[in-house]
Amino acid sequence: MSGAEVGGVLGRRRAVVVLLAAVTVAAAAAYAGSRSAGPATVPLVDGRSAAVVPVEQLRVEVLARYPHDTAAFTQGLELVGSDLYEGTGQYGESELRVVDLASGTVRRRVSLPDTVFGEGITVLESRIWQITWREGVAYERDRETLDVLREVTYDGEGWGICHDDAADRLVMSDGTDQLTYRDPATFDQIGSVTVTRAGTPVRDINELECVDGQVWANVWRTDEIVRIDPASGQVVAEVDAGGLLAGAERAGVDVLNGIAAVPGTDEFLITGKYWPALFRVRFVPGS
């Protein structure tokens, strides 16, 4: 190859690099513009629209630390009195457990079939709903015996579930940006909403907790917990829950997952899949 040819190749390469850089800058500017401007409203299922709301920034204040079973692939978490109800996942390892909060001792446990991957749980007065990942089956259980009373089927995946006392409906996530509303007696779908933040859909909504008519949610593969207005689907607050485990404790653990309100307080319990600890926390302003 001659010097002229080399120069020509280098010149063309330089031109391509300059062109790519220009395209990248333009795309970034367009993205930043769309992010900063954002949509002013989000559509609602009834045809109306809601104004996009600002997102409150929260951080975690740790109040106490309890032991958590490092064999528990936590998928559902709710507290009733001192009984911590925990649903776990993985094929061949899925269970529903009743755990003593302070000691972490498992008081009662039932296993799911090896062919079923357990996901979220929610405790009603005398019953418990436990959903499954890709099996399309929800188990209705007796709260005392944990025995299965009934199995119902549903379409799509199952990730998180909670019972919205105020509206007397189940709220269910499926890994997308959708929350599905269900009849707590029949499990029939009665509505849905798209979760958005600053007008943009938020996917991977995972374990849920219904508190005072609001829905708190883990976002899969992040240390983020969001509070969702179930009427509009909008994220109204986001919690940075990073840094709870010390460096050495993070070996072998999976993601943050599991949020349970402490009834009668403004406190929550949070943990993660295979985490060695469960934290009693309060969400306070600050980023």
Residues that bind Ca ion (CB under 5 A): 77, 209, 260
Shortest distance, position 122 Cβ to Ca ion, whole Å: 7
Which amino acid would we find at residue 101?
A: L
Give the nearer residue to Ca ion in terms of CB position, either 42 or 274.
274
User: Nearest to residue 95, comparing CAs of 127, 129, 130, 142?
Assistant: 130
Shortest distance, position 208 Cβ to Ca ion, whole Å: 6
As a whole number of angstroms, the distance between CA 236 and CA 250 comes to 29
In 89-147, beta strands by DSSP E: 95-100, 106-111, 118-123, 127-132, 137-142
Q: Name the DSSP letter for residue 112.
A: P
As a whole number of angstroms, the distance between CA 159 and CA 118 comes to 9
Shortest distance, position 121 Cβ to Ca ion, whole Å: 8
Give the nearer residue to Ca ion in terms of CB position, either 121 or 235.
121
Backbone angles phi, psi at 113, to 5 degrees: -55, 150
Shortest distance, position 173 Cβ to Ca ion, whole Å: 11
Shortest distance, position 207 Cβ to Ca ion, whole Å: 5
Give the nearer residue to Ca ion in terms of CB position, either 52 or 77.
77
Please write down the long-range contacts of 166-169, taking CB distance under 8 Å and 24 or more positions apart: 166/212, 166/213, 167/213, 167/230
Which amino acid would we find at residue 12?
A: R
Give the nearer residue to Ca ion in terms of CB position, either 218 or 234.
218
Give the nearer residue to Ca ion in terms of CB position, either 42 or 270.
270
